[in-house]
Amino acid sequence: MRLDHLPIGQQAKITAIDDAPMAMMVKLREIGFAEDDLVKIVHLGPINKTPLCIQLNQTLVALRRAEAAMIRVDPLS
Amino acid sequence: MSVTELAKPVAGRPAPFRIALVGAPNCGKSTLFNGLTGGRAKVANFPGATVETRAGKFTTQSGHIVELLDLPGFYGMSPRSRDEVIALDMVKGTDGAAPDLLLVLIDAANLRTHLHSVLQLKSFGIQLIISLNMIDLARRDGLKLDIGALERELGVPVVTSQATRKAGREAVSAKLDAILNEGLERRAMPVEKPQSRPVKELQAAARAIIKKTVLAEPIFNQLTRKIDQVVLNPVAGPLILIGILLFMFQAVFAWASLPMDLIEAGISGLGNMVSGFLPDGWLRSLIVDGIIAGVGSVLVFLPQIIILFAFILLLEASGYMARAAFMMDELMARVGLSGRAFIPLLSSFACAIPGIMAARVVENERDRLTTMLIAPLMTCSARLPVYTLIIAAFIPRQSVGFMNLQGIVMFALYMVGVVSAIIVAFVLKRTLTKGQPQPLMMELPSYKMPNARDFFIGLWVRISAFLKRAGTIILGTSIALWFLVSYPSSATALKDSFAGRIGSVLEVILAPIGFNLEIAIALVPGMAAREVAVGALGTVYAVQGGEENVEGLASVLQSAWSLPTALAFLAWYVFAPQCFATLATIRRESNSWKWTAFSFTYLIALAYIAAGVTYHVARWAL
> B455-468: b or e for each residue (b if 16 or more CB lie within 10 Å)?
bebbbebbeebbbe
In this prediction the pTM is 0.86
Report the percentage of chain B scoring pLDDT > 70: 92
Q: In this complex, which of B116, B207, B234 lies closest to A36 when CB atoms are compared?
A: B207
**Side-chain half-sphere CA neighbours of B197 within 13 A:** 12
Residue A3 — very low, low, confident or very high, per pLDDT cuts 50/70/90? Answer: very high
- pLDDT tens-digit profile of A36-61? 999 999 999 999 999 999 999 999 99
A15/B contact by beta carbon, under 8 A: no
Residue B215 has pLDDT above 70, yes or no: yes
In angstroms, the separation between the Cα of residue B471 and the nearest Cα of chain A is 42
Which pLDDT band holds residue B487 (cuts at 50, 70, 90)? confident
B310: confidence class by pLDDT, cuts 50, 70, 90: very high
What residues contact residue A30 under an 8 Å CB cut-off, 6+ apart?
B75, B76, B77, B78, B116, B117, B120, B199
* pLDDT at residue A76 greater than cutoff 50: yes
Asked if pLDDT for residue B514 goes beyond 90, the answer is yes
pLDDT mean over B44-64: 68
Alpha helices in B77-198 (DSSP H): 82-92, 111-114, 116-122, 135-140, 147-154, 166-182
B48 band by pLDDT with thresholds 50, 70 and 90: very low
| Buried-state track B385-418, b at ≥16 Cβ within 10 A, e below 16 | bbbbbbbbbbbeeeeeeeeeebbebbeebbebbe
Better pLDDT: B461 or B594: B594
CB-count exposure of residue B421 (10 Å: 0-12, 13-18, 19+): buried
Please state, rounded to an integer, the average pLDDT across all residues of chain B: 85
B224 → chain A, closest CA residue:
A60
Who contacts B11 (Cβ-Cβ below 8 Å, separation ≥6)? none
List, as one string, the DSSP characters of B462-527. Answer: HHHHHHHHIIIIIHHHHHHHHHHHH-STT--SGGGSHHHHHHHHHHHHHGGGT--HHHHHHHHHHT
Q: Does the beta carbon of B218 lie under 8 angstroms from any beta carbon of chain A? A: yes
Interface test with B, best of A39, A55, A59 (most B CBs within 10 A): A59
Interchain pair A45, B329: CB under 8 A: yes
Would you tell me which residues 350-409 of chain B have a C-beta closer than 8 angstroms to some C-beta of chain A? none
Interface test with A, best of B197, B440, B447, B448 (most A CBs within 10 A): B440
Find the mean pLDDT for residues B338-349.
Answer: 88
How far is B426 from chain A, CA to nearest CA, in Å?
18
Rounded CA separation A61/B533 (Å): 46
Question: Cα-flanking dihedrals φ and ψ of residue B399, to 5°?
Answer: -85, 140
Could you read off the pLDDT of B462-483 as tens digits, one per residue? 788 778 877 787 788 878 878 8
A-chain CB neighbours of B443 within 8 Å are 31, 59-62
pLDDT at B140 over 90: yes
Contact indicator for B16, B67 with CB cutoff of 8 Å: yes
Which helix (H) or strand (E) segment is A50 a member of?
strand A50-56
Whether A44 and B76 lie within 8 Å, measured CB to CB? no
pLDDT at B201 exceeding the cut of 80: yes
pLDDT tier for residue B587 given thresholds of 50, 70 and 90: confident
Q: Which of B53-62, B63-72, B97-106, B538-547 has the lowest mean pLDDT?
A: B538-547
User: Which has the minimum average pLDDT: B17-26, B177-186, B215-224?
Assistant: B177-186
